[in-house]
Chain A
Amino acid sequence: EAGVTQSPTHLIKTRGQQATLRCSPISGHTSVYWYQQALGLGLQFLLWYDEGEERNRGNFPPRFSGRQFPNYSSELNVNALELEDSALYLCASSLAIKRGAYEKLFFGSGTQLSVL
């Protein structure tokens, strides 16, 4: 069974451009989470989607946005890129929380975004 897949693995952009990152969850998982891991800062929660809706977002500006498609895959968009957006962006998926016990999160390998 395929795990969480993310594309692209690496992305190089310049300041002011837009970046689009993609994530496909494990089959059967309906919840998708996005995290940012910047050097020295640890993992910071960005966005959570469940059943196609944004359920929660972290303390990030509105230029970080995303969506979840009917097949539960997800897209993270970062507009007006800034140098400090350079980071590893990780996507995770889990079964829907409404199923009871809070399920284990499974992470993808990430997209390394470099803003020059």
Chain B
Amino acid sequence: KQEVTQIPAALSVPEGENLVLNCSFTDSAIYNLQWFRQDPGKGLTSLLLIQSSQREQTSGRLNASLDKSSGRSTLYIAASQPGDSATYLCAVRPQGGSEKLVFGKGTKLTVNP
């Protein structure tokens, strides 16, 4: 059974700092991994999608990497801003026919001005 873990559960940093959020998964048989952002009481906004054959994806100040063999992904946020404060979720789409995403519980990021 695929399980996704995100560490740390919460992170507080000063504005301008570069930071890394971690995601690990137990089964490397995945189609892709997706990073989302969730603001309190709101839905999810897709940030980056990495296919299993890819190593990384970049969008603006965000860079996500994927090491499928070791079951790890990182989300790097450069020059953090208070507007980046949110919960960041990673999710994997397992192989094997279930076709559903398996989510981690998220990392709650607070960027202090």
Please give the residue numbers on chain A whose beta carbons come within 8 Å of chain B beta carbons, in ascending order.
4, 6, 33, 35, 42-43, 45, 48, 55-56, 58, 88, 90, 92, 97, 101-102, 104-110, 112
Interface of A is mostly: strand
Task: Give the nearest-CB partner of A4 in chain B.
Answer: B43
- Given the contacts A42-B103, A45-B101, A105 and B43 also touching, CB distance less than 8 Å: no
| A108 lies within 8 A of B103 (CB) | no
- Given the contacts A88-B41, A112-B41, A106 and B46 also touching, CB distance less than 8 Å: yes
Q: Inside 8 A of A107's CB, which chain B residues have their CB? A: 36, 43-46
30 contacts between A and B (CB under 8 A): A4-B43, A33-B100, A42-B103, A42-B105, A42-B106, A43-B89, A43-B101, A45-B101, A45-B102, A48-B100, A55-B99, A56-B98, A56-B100, A58-B100, A88-B41, A92-B44, A97-B99, A101-B31, A102-B31, A102-B32, A102-B51, A104-B34, A104-B46, A105-B46, A106-B46, A107-B43, A107-B45, A109-B43, A110-B43, A112-B41
- Cβ distance A94 to chain B, nearest Cβ, rounded Å: 10
Interface of B is mostly: strand
Q: Inside 8 A of B34's CB, which chain A residues have their CB? A: 104-105
| A102 lies within 8 A of B46 (CB) | no
Our count of residue pairs bridging A and B at CB distance below 8 angstroms stands at: 55
- Cβ distance B66 to chain A, nearest Cβ, rounded Å: 14
Inter-chain CA distance A64–B68, complex, in Å, is 34
Other-chain residue from A43, A56, A88 in contact with B99 (beta carbon distance below 8 A): A56
Q: Mark B15-31, 1 if CB is under 8 A from A, else 0.
A: 00000000000000001
Other-chain residue from B43, B44, B99 in contact with A48 (beta carbon distance below 8 A): B99
Inter-chain CA distance A65–B98, complex, in Å, is 18
B71 on the A face (CB < 8 A): no
- Given the contacts A88-B41, A90-B43, A110-B43, A105 and B101 also touching, CB distance less than 8 Å: yes
Given contacts A43-B103, A88-B41, A102-B99, 19 further A-B contacts (CB under 8 A): A4-B43, A33-B100, A33-B101, A42-B105, A45-B101, A48-B99, A56-B100, A92-B44, A102-B93, A104-B34, A104-B46, A104-B49, A105-B34, A105-B46, A107-B43, A107-B44, A109-B42, A109-B43, A110-B42
